[in-house]
């Protein structure tokens, strides 16, 4: 192909546009909103740096809050993946997804309480925890599939505002359903001690039994340990590391499933173009149901993990994590699976670290989280890693 124009041509016929090195600064100066945002970011950075230099904010605080933020962000990421999967397939924000998360935590409470009452929780703790997680996942998947079949599938070809309003209505309906069935009182997960690796931690959880000292090892669920790392005194809760590790494994498994399996390829095809995918023999309804199942499974597991360290469940616990997870999905780039993962972890760390670093009350963490969303969207409307859209959708 030859062209008489000296300007290079992109592979899709789109011209390359030369941008000067200071294009970011020029665009910021030309946009009053971006200029205000830049000034605000500089001010926040100055306050944080001043608090660090003056010693008002210490490195041990940063380490503790980062560890907690990664655990909290892992839960946000698991929920956010459900938002981004459904949006990538249907271009719909499933605002009932927070209640799918809540249902997993709630049903998990009844299962783990029954296991406690039977004594199975204490004699086979690991198996009991797996049963609890599986029960939460099963409950969330059941509700998500019912939502897709009853509330969303009949509206699949309706204007996009209609399923959005339906999702909000489904969210309220699920809250009220659990409220009427189980009451408004807060349910508390039982205290669980899950000891591992007594050989690696011979000085932890030691008790004298019949004249002999027995050390059980590291308590992954309820343990709290004071440690010194590189001269920094920290109180470590292993549950935070457990939540982070389990979430990473589940997110990696999802990424492998979407990239390497036949159904994953079908999901990507339907996300590009439903009609063409159907002509190629893809069962679109099955793909959409699978998408809801995957998102709900992650949310249900996240609900049980969240309840294990938070220990309290109510019919309304899904609202705030659900909104935060949606924020995380937008931060990372809606429709972008790595973006949802990164956005969840990023948001969790920021809302955990920022209040103390800025000398603010921890009650303002929600304000900081949503302010972060506004700032990111001012400078990068498609999210940090960008929004994934096909050419047709774009």
Residue 213 gets which letter from DSSP?
Answer: E
Using the predicted structure, report yes or no on whether residue 330 has a pLDDT greater than 80: yes
Number of separate domains in the chain: 1
Using the predicted structure, report yes or no on whether residue 70 has a pLDDT greater than 90: yes
Using the predicted structure, report yes or no on whether residue 21 has a pLDDT greater than 60: no
What is the pLDDT averaged over residues 105-131?
93
Residue 205 gets which letter from DSSP?
Answer: S
Residue 295 gets which letter from DSSP?
Answer: H
The residue range of the domain holding 371 is: 66-187+262-379
The C-alpha atoms of residue 311 and residue 363 are separated, in whole angstroms, by 20
For 36-48, the pLDDT digits (tens) are 777 877 888 888 8
Q: What is the pTM of this model?
A: 0.85
Which pLDDT band, with edges at 50, 70 and 90, does 144 fall under? Answer: very high
What is the pLDDT averaged over residues 115-133?
92
Using the predicted structure, report yes or no on whether residue 299 has a pLDDT greater than 90: yes
Residue 340 in domain: yes
Residue 318 in domain: yes
The C-alpha atoms of residue 284 and residue 267 are separated, in whole angstroms, by 8
Residue 47 in domain: no
Residue 115 in domain: yes
The C-alpha atoms of residue 75 and residue 348 are separated, in whole angstroms, by 9
Residue 321 in domain: yes
Residue 14 in domain: no
Tokens of 133: 């997680």
For 190-218, the pLDDT digits (tens) are 988 888 877 777 777 776 655 666 777 78
Check residues 168 and 380 and name the one with the higher pLDDT.
Answer: 168
Residue 304 in domain: yes
Which pLDDT band, with edges at 50, 70 and 90, does 394 fall under? Answer: very low
E runs forming strands in the chain = 187-188, 195-196, 206-209, 212-215, 218-219, 225-229, 232-236, 312-313
Poorest-pLDDT segment among 4-8, 120-124, 243-247: 4-8
For residue 226, what are the CA distances in angstroms to 72, 229, 230, 245, 265? 21, 10, 13, 21, 47
Using the predicted structure, report yes or no on whether residue 115 has a pLDDT greater than 70: yes
Residue 183 in domain: yes
Check residues 166 and 35 and name the one with the higher pLDDT.
Answer: 166
The C-alpha atoms of residue 213 and residue 246 are separated, in whole angstroms, by 32
Residue 389 gets which letter from DSSP?
Answer: -
Q: What is the DSSP string of 109-157?
A: HHHHHHHHHHTHHHHSHHHHHHHHHHHHHHHHHHHHHHHIIIIIGGGTT
CA atoms in the 13 A half-sphere facing the CB of 382: 8
Q: What percent of the chain has pLDDT over 90?
A: 47
């Amino acid at each position: 192909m030859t062209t008489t124009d000296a300007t290079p041509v992109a592979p899709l016929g789109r011209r390359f546009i030369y941008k000067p090195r200071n294009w970011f600064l020029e665009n910021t100066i030309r946009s009053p909103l971006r200029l205000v945002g830049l000034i605000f970011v500089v001010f926040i950075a100055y306050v944080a740096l001043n608090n660090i230099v003056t010693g008002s904010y210490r490195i041990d605080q940063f380490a503790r809050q980062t560890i907690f933020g990664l655990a909290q962000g892992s839960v946000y990421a698991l929920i956010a993946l459900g938002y981004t999967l459904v949006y990538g397939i249907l271009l719909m924000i499933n605002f009932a997804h927070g209640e799918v998360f809540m249902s997993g935590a709630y049903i998990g409470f009844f299962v783990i309480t029954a296991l406690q009452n039977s004594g199975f929780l204490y004699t086979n703790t690991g198996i009991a925890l797996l049963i609890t997680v599986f029960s939460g996942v099963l409950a969330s998947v059941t509700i998500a599939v019912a939502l897709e079949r009853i509330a969303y599938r009949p509206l699949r070809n309706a204007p996009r505002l209609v399923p959005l309003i339906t999702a909000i209505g489904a969210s309220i309906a699920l809250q009220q359903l659990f409220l009427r069935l189980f009451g408004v009182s807060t349910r508390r997960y039982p205290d669980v001690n899950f000891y591992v690796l007594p050989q690696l931690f011979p000085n932890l959880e030691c008790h004298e039994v019949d004249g002999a000292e027995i050390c059980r090892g590291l308590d992954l669920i309820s343990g709290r340990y004071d440690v010194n790392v590189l001269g920094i005194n920290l109180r470590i809760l292993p549950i935070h590391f457990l939540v982070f590790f389990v979430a990473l494994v589940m997110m990696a498994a999802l990424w492998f499933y979407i990239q390497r399996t036949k159904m994953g390829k079908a999901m990507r095809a339907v996300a590009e173009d439903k009609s063409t995918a159907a002509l190629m023999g893809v069962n679109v309804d099955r793909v959409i149901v699978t998408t809801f199942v995957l998102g709900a499974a992650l949310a249900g597991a996240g609900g049980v993990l969240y309840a294990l360290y938070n220990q309290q469940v109510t019919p309304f616990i899904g609202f705030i994590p659900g909104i935060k997870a949606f924020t995380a999905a937008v931060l990372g780039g809606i429709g972008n699976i790595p973006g949802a993962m990164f956005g969840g972890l990023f948001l969790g760390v920021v809302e955990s670290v920022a209040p103390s670093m800025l000398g603010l009350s921890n009650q303002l963490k929600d304000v900081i989280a949503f302010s972060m969303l506004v700032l990111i969207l001012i400078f990068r409307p498609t999210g940090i890693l960008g929004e994934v859209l096909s050419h047709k959708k774009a």
